[in-house]
Structure 1
């Protein structure tokens, strides 16, 4: 009876590893990609994917040979101990749950998979214990052997734990550039044809998103989550005004009309959409975002170099420059180009460079909190500057693809549309979709990534993240995505 039980368990292990190894081999690229997304093994996916496949086939081979069967079963038991520890750690400590299994195993939930592995771990232990009960003078030996099996299971679990801790350290600090893709963090909800591609995001609030239009500067289009649209005509307290580079910004309950080349800021209330000119005149700037009712953060130019600053209107008007924030690498203009945001939750400005893997977090006085890095490895701007007209004008000397194409802030999360493919990412997907990387500004870490797919060959040109929806501008279309539980949980995960 004992021998029959051992043979049946060996047969079960044989079937398990034949099935698992064959599925991995038939679609090895998929297995390697999904292993690369694992928070536990992402940094070691290259060699672990090959190692697991080879070991599983070796276990199958030696299980077929009677003389080596028990050694192969012992190896299978050790491997199952590692797999079980892997699933336990993923269930309890992972930021998301990918899948690196094929066939019917892929249909199991992670909890079911854990029970499945525990079953094989227990049956393997029983078979090894029964096999060694056949030896003479077995009383002390069996007791020792059972302890040894338990220690082996624990040791293999510790190995997996060390891999997990090492992988997380490498992912966050040593930057091997492997993205993680959780299952369906967003779901396509609606698509609206705006007819024109001149719209830009002016802001959001009160369950509405506001779109400005560069060809009709003083008009806004308001769209709520039910897709009800309203055209808004912004009125100024001046009958005529000469603008050069007008931009609208909506931060309920206020809205702003901003032109850095004309050095003017208008502010009004969304209740009547009438704006008054703020005094005194602001400095010259090319990017600006409102911080509160009287203060804007801006990026201007000083000594032929981009510089960040803060301007407050009213009786206590002041300008506070922060030259230490932006760091020159080449020319101080193109190499420091980027996007400026403000987080009302953190009360911090965030500036992300366009041509390098760095972002800046600073307070409202321009005091640097820290410099963070995106997961790509482009730490130095890959640009060449050409000078024209006796070096009085400058332009890009060679075609340059920006590292970070667009970005958005929602609470303590930074969303970045990256232009740099990572390892194990197919070119075909990159041709069809935009990759959005998500970062936790509180923890200073990369979380995961997801795709925004293009429409009719056109890709995302800008996007806006709110607590419930993500809006993307794709050619003339406004695409609305519902944020699912995984991402919503991260957005609402506010430290005390």
Structure 2
């Protein structure tokens, strides 16, 4: 009997020592590389929202439990706390492996070399060690002295329930009430190919069928196309005699079987077939516009500055309507001057039949139907609710200019069937500084139907030139760096998100 008791005591002491070594090593590793630890928690599918205080709590608990395990009088409490904490860690890993949409990076130190499956097995072993030690230990004051089995069951249940509640709440907060914590998933896109466009004046004109089209800001009548197999480039020349029209800013748009040539400064808008690349129609009664997006073969949405006091305003042009031009004066919301503060990007998504407008200098975008009736006003996950700009009035107030460089928030977007890809210029919480210091940017993805944030895609700086613009289709992400086209394919989580829209 005495030998049995001694063996039990030895097992308890060895288990306590192992836990002390584990927790001290883990906490010291986290402290020495605390920023990376916070970043890892920020990318966790369970703890993203709580990364700030949770990082300190985990370290504090590991140190506190280690101290409790060192002294005989507090060893019992330390074992129970070790059991509870390790059950939480184990459930956390189990949820990541079986219920999370992605698997984040592992812990630091030696444990980082383990796979998540190995880490799960490692944690289960330590849970069993703590469980056996609790059973072997002779209790002197714990409330579970006579009811250890009940205590173990209750402790395990509470630990599991805590992690599950954290997971459910964190996912909800992450997608619908995000306080600017991004989620990066390594398997969201996969590099496919890159193509040299030869010149840095190309921009995305659109896509139709199996081809991507590029306009040229320097040579407006010269275009390029590439097939979706990324093998065949084709040079295109638009057949158009401008008859001396004083064009200043010509833009080409592709929509279905038609192409459109427009310049809002003239203003003029023409249409032709992509089968012949010849202009065969001019739309009459076109108002001036600073940006435009094609809705269908006879209508487009535009923005100009003919609103009150020269403010920006959204309008619809419809060649088939008796009243060709209709404005929506209350769609854009003024904050400062109605001009610079409402500046932004305009697109029409053919799949969802929605007009989308995203402000440049605040975390806000809106969706409207094809008649410019507001559907929703939503926000990006950053916290810039008001445009951070300074406007100076010149020549007695007749002219206005930026008095200081503005803080760009949303630098453009691309939409596909209720999936919005927003180019962000603002660094989020718990993000690595290297991405931003080296000229990187981020594309945040939103589900317009659910009105939720999905994930983020880091765009690293390229030796091929600065990041100019991008476009998405149902399967691929296209980016232009200088004169280089970069092509990526959607993978796993992102593909599922698009497919389920």
- Give your verdict on TM over 0.5: yes
Aligned partners of 2:140 and 2:341: how far apart in 1?
74
Stretch of structure 1 that moved more, 59-68 or 319-328? 59-68
1:401 corresponds to: 407
Aligned partners of 1:206 and 1:119: how far apart in 2?
56
Give ranges in structure 2 of 5+ residues lacking alignment: 1-6
* Helix, strand or coil at the partner of 1:235: coil
Q: Does 1:339 align with 2:345?
A: yes
* Helix, strand or coil at the partner of 2:397: coil
Q: Superposed, which structure 2 residues align to 1:133-148 within 5 Å?
A: 144-148=147-151
Aligned partners of 1:457 and 1:276: how far apart in 2?
38
* Helix, strand or coil at the partner of 2:455: strand
Q: Superposed, which structure 2 residues align to 1:376-455 within 5 Å?
A: 376-432=382-438, 433-455=440-462
* Helix, strand or coil at the partner of 1:271: coil
Contact 1:182 1:450 in 2 (8 A): yes
Aligned partners of 1:386 and 1:233: how far apart in 2?
43
Out of 34, 40, 49, the residue aligned to residue 46 of structure 2 is 40
1:61-109: per-residue Cα shift (whole Å, max 9, x none)?
3334444333222111111122223234434554433235124433444
Stretch of structure 1 that moved more, 291-300 or 204-213? 204-213
Aligned CA-pair RMSD: 2.7
Contact 2:422 2:444 in 1 (8 A): yes
Q: Does 1:363 align with 2:366?
A: no
Contact 2:187 2:492 in 1 (8 A): no
Stretch of structure 1 that moved more, 1-10 or 322-331? 1-10
Q: Does 1:223 align with 2:226?
A: yes
* Helix, strand or coil at the partner of 2:494: helix
Contact 1:264 1:277 in 2 (8 A): no
Q: Would you identify which runs of 4 or more consecutive aligned residues in structure 1 move more than 6 Å?
A: 140-143
Q: Does 1:87 align with 2:77?
A: no
Out of 162, 165, 184, the residue aligned to residue 159 of structure 1 is 162
1:60 corresponds to: 66
Aligned partners of 2:429 and 2:202: how far apart in 1?
34
Q: Does 1:461 align with 2:464?
A: no
Aligned partners of 1:307 and 1:111: how far apart in 2?
56
Aligned partners of 1:380 and 1:286: how far apart in 2?
23
Deviation at 1:143, TM superposition (A): 7.3
Contact 1:237 1:274 in 2 (8 A): no
Stretch of structure 1 that moved more, 12-21 or 378-387? 12-21
Aligned partners of 2:385 and 2:140: how far apart in 1?
63
Contact 2:302 2:316 in 1 (8 A): yes
Q: 1:419 to 1:141 in 2, by over 3 A?
A: closer
Contact 2:190 2:491 in 1 (8 A): yes
Q: 1:111 to 1:267 in 2, by over 3 A?
A: farther
Out of 241, 255, 274, the residue aligned to residue 251 of structure 1 is 255
Aligned partners of 2:476 and 2:174: how far apart in 1?
28
Contact 1:129 1:142 in 2 (8 A): no
Q: 1:368 to 1:315 in 2, by over 3 A?
A: closer
Task: Report the number of matched residues.
Answer: 491
Aligned partners of 2:409 and 2:334: how far apart in 1?
17
TM-score of the two chains, using structure 1 as the length reference: 0.91
Q: 1:359 to 1:425 in 2, by over 3 A?
A: same
Aligned partners of 2:349 and 2:98: how far apart in 1?
30
Out of 272, 276, 291, the residue aligned to residue 272 of structure 1 is 276
1:25 corresponds to: 31
Aligned partners of 2:317 and 2:269: how far apart in 1?
10
Aligned partners of 1:493 and 1:160: how far apart in 2?
28
Stretch of structure 1 that moved more, 391-400 or 263-272? 263-272
Stretch of structure 1 that moved more, 319-328 or 352-361? 319-328
Q: Does 1:233 align with 2:237?
A: yes
Q: Superposed, which structure 2 residues align to 1:176-191 within 5 Å?
A: 176-191=179-194
Stretch of structure 1 that moved more, 181-190 or 163-172? 163-172
Contact 1:199 1:211 in 2 (8 A): yes
Out of 288, 293, 296, the residue aligned to residue 297 of structure 2 is 293
Stretch of structure 1 that moved more, 157-166 or 78-87? 157-166
Q: 1:315 to 1:274 in 2, by over 3 A?
A: farther
1:13 corresponds to: 19
